[in-house]
Amino acid sequence: MKKFTKKTVGADGKRNRKIIRKIEQKRTFRKIFLTITIAMFIVVILCFSIMYETR
């Protein structure tokens, strides 16, 4: 990925900033998605272990 410098000013700079914001949003969304999937995985394992013990 290219590193964006503060030299890009004007319309081009605005566009770059928008792109950066989109990339940051994607990154945060991916983090949230990962945490949710991990949490669901843990919950499923816990449920299975409880069911196995109560049998």
The percent of residues in the chain predicted with pLDDT above 90, rounded, is: 35
User: 10's torsion region: left (phi>0), alpha (psi -120 to 50) or beta?
Assistant: left
Q: Indicate whether 3 belongs to any domain.
A: no
Domain that holds residue 38: 13-55
pTM, rounded to two decimals: 0.49
Residues of the chain with confidence (pLDDT) below 70: 1-13
Alpha helices in 1-55 (DSSP H): 11-54
Q: Is residue 8 part of a domain?
A: no
Q: What pLDDT is attached to residue 21? A: 86
What was the pLDDT predicted at 39? 95
Q: In this structure, is residue 41 part of a structural domain? A: yes
Distance CA 31, CA 17 (A): 21
Q: How many domains does the chain have?
A: 1
Domain presence at residue 42: yes
C-alpha 37/C-alpha 43 separation (Å) is 10
**Does residue 52 lie within any of the structural domains?**
yes
User: Domain for residue 37, yes or no?
Assistant: yes
